[in-house]
Structure 1
């Protein structure tokens, strides 16, 4: 499953300009696993890693985040960045391993009590904009890596949010009749799918 820029921005809190800057140059912060040209397409792992970066970015300068990513390479930790739990105290970036934390910027060992769950919760990005809950971008939508490759779906189903949004977008199918096409989808599901789709599309218009 590949994620286009506008959906990545909505799920991570990063802007299109930030994503472009982070994937370019001789040492990109995070290059898309799926495709960089002609159109950037990201993997689910990329989205998780970018959400971590955006969450850290609201607290500390980007150069410290870059330093932390370079430290991972120096420590021979070469898995995809999404496999590591990173957090910040507002000054440095820490790699969490069990109940220990390694300071990736300053290098001392410290203890912290933050997990990746904090990154998945709603937060305000560096521009002060509210970023959606990652696992539930709307009350009736959810993101699960093992379902549709992490693409947002109607809760408890394999129905993609966009499938429902596109069905009612032009007014051809009223929300109350969607259940005739998708019996597991309720009107409240439709409302959340349409609302989330509008947010995703608004990123495309601003880009």
Structure 2
């Protein structure tokens, strides 16, 4: 599955301005399609979330500098393969083999110990706005990379949230009608899917 800029922004915590700037500066070019409108992959989403997580704790300049030095690591084809962390000054990367390197103060310097926070959990971006847990972006919705490629679905199903949201028009089809069409989707879950879809429109 792929992600529109609105969905990528909502799930990563990035602002539309950040998405555009990081794309045009080459920090994170969407791997599905960099052209307008850009289309992001699940791997892009994970990398974007790492960037937002780091940016919440350090400056944009340090983030750009660290991302520019990822090439020297050169052990994976996408930033989503790494774990990132920061102490507010240094920015650290954990490679797939467990090695931890400093990307800023002592580029390439091996660190003996660093505890990485879980960027999939809820956190605040640099504006102090809540970024939802990536595995559960809204009530009744869930994300798992092996379910529709990480696209948000109604929890416990493979039904995409936007399939439900597009059906509900408030007149001919209400959230109360959805269980008749999708027995595993409750009216409450349908309501949550509609609300999540509305929040995407507000984010852009």
Question: TM-score, normalising length from structure 2?
Answer: 0.91
Q: Which moved more, 1:134-143 or 1:69-78?
A: 69-78
Work out whether 1:81 is the aligned partner of 2:105. Answer: no
Task: Kindly indicate whether the alpha-carbon contact (under 8 Å) linking 1:141 and 1:155 is maintained by their aligned counterparts in 2.
Answer: yes
Partner of 2:31: 33
Gap regions ≥5 residues in structure 1:
none
Partner of 1:92: 90
> Counterpart of 1:112 in 2: which secondary structure?
coil
Within 5 A, what are the aligned runs for 1:57-206?
57-97=55-95, 100-107=99-106, 108-110=109-111, 111-115=113-117, 118-204=118-204
> Counterpart of 1:95 in 2: which secondary structure?
strand
Q: Which moved more, 1:4-13 or 1:121-130?
A: 121-130
User: In the aligned structure 1, how far is the partner of 2:140 from the partner of 2:82?
Assistant: 29
How many equivalent pairs are there? 200
The C-alpha deviation readout for 1:108-129, integer Å capped at 9, x for no partner, is: 33311124xx211111111111
- Give the C-alpha shift of residue 84 in structure 1: 0.5
User: In the aligned structure 1, how far is the partner of 2:169 from the partner of 2:54?
Assistant: 36
- Give the C-alpha shift of residue 72 in structure 1: 2.1
Gap regions ≥5 residues in structure 2:
none
- Give the RMSD, CA atoms, in angstroms: 1.6
Work out whether 1:12 is the aligned partner of 2:24. Answer: no
- Give the C-alpha shift of residue 100 in structure 1: 4.9
Task: Kindly indicate whether the alpha-carbon contact (under 8 Å) linking 1:22 and 1:31 is maintained by their aligned counterparts in 2.
Answer: yes
- Give the C-alpha shift of residue 76 in structure 1: 2.3
User: In the aligned structure 2, how far is the partner of 1:163 from the partner of 1:68?
Assistant: 39
The C-alpha deviation readout for 1:6-59, integer Å capped at 9, x for no partner, is: 11110011111111110114xx10001011223111111001100110111011
CA shift in 2, pair 1:12/1:2, >3 Å: same
Question: TM-score, normalising length from structure 1?
Answer: 0.90
The C-alpha deviation readout for 1:133-177, integer Å capped at 9, x for no partner, is: 111011310111111111100011110001111211343212222
